[in-house]
Amino acid sequence: MTGPPGGASAPAGQGSQPGTPGAQRPGASKQARDRDPGGRPRNARPRDGLGRPLPRGQAGEERIPDDLAVPPYEAISLAQGLLDSGRPFHAHEVLEASWKAAPPAERELWKGLAQIAVGLTHARRGNATGAAALLRRGGQRVGRYAGAAPHGIDAGTIARQASSLADRIDTDGLAAAAGPGADFRLT
């Protein structure tokens, strides 16, 4: 095993290069990670309206519970209300909970809807590349259910709209995400 020049080893808890085990981002604290009762990592930091973490102790937006369990029609209604009120990150959380709870035959549909909501979140955050990529990926997943989507979800229209919006973002930039065709209807 080699260490830094001069034969000295790296200080305990720090790898010799970023990305190596034990390496830590510059300026990062050694605070323990938030964990749920099952030991899975969770981030309990408050979040802004677009899901970005805020400093601990600062007031943030109300979060969607990690264990949200609602019937599909209620999830669609809740997600639509969040999309309509300009809160695509929160809509994504609702759709992600439905994806994780869905029967196997529906998981890709819910995953695609969640990805579209994340794409809209990236657009609102100013990330054109991420927005277009997730809108396309989500639209492709949802499009597989065109004509046969459960729960009244208009999969064909949603898939076409996601693809079209991604193309417009690529061509015209993020202004396209605030223009016509950027409001999604799930049913």
Interval 161-176 mean pLDDT: 95
Q: Of 56 and 84, which is predicted with more confidence?
A: 84
How does pLDDT run across 12-53, given as a tens digit for each residue?
444 444 444 444 555 555 556 666 677 765 567 767 667 766
| Confidence band, pLDDT 50/70/90 cuts, at residue 168 | very high
Beta partners for residue 41, in sequence order: 35
Q: What is this structure's pTM?
A: 0.73
Residue-wise pLDDT for 106-140, tens only, equals 999 999 999 999 999 999 999 999 999 999 999 99
Answer yes or no: are the C-beta atoms of 158 and 136 closer than 8 Å.
Answer: no
User: 182: number of CA atoms within 13 Å, CB side?
Assistant: 21
CA distance 60 to 134: 25
State residue 1's pLDDT score.
Answer: 40
Q: What is the pLDDT of residue 61?
A: 76
Three-state SS for the chain is CCCCHHHCCCCCCCCCCCCCCCCCCCCCCCCCCCECCCCCECCCCCECCCCCECCCCCCCCCCCCCCCCCCHHHHHHHHHHHHHCCCHHHHHHHHHHHHHHCCHHHHHHHHHHHHHHHHHHHHHHCCHHHHHHHHHHHHHHHHCCCCCCHHHCCHHHHHHHHHHHHHHHHHHCHHHHHCCCCCCCCC
Chain centroid offset of residue 150 CA: 23
Closest CA to 124 of 181, 159, 176, 47: 176
Residues 6 or more apart whose CB falls under 8 angstroms from that of 86 comprise 49, 124
Q: Which candidate, 95, 169, 67, 70, places its Cα nearest to that of 125?
A: 169
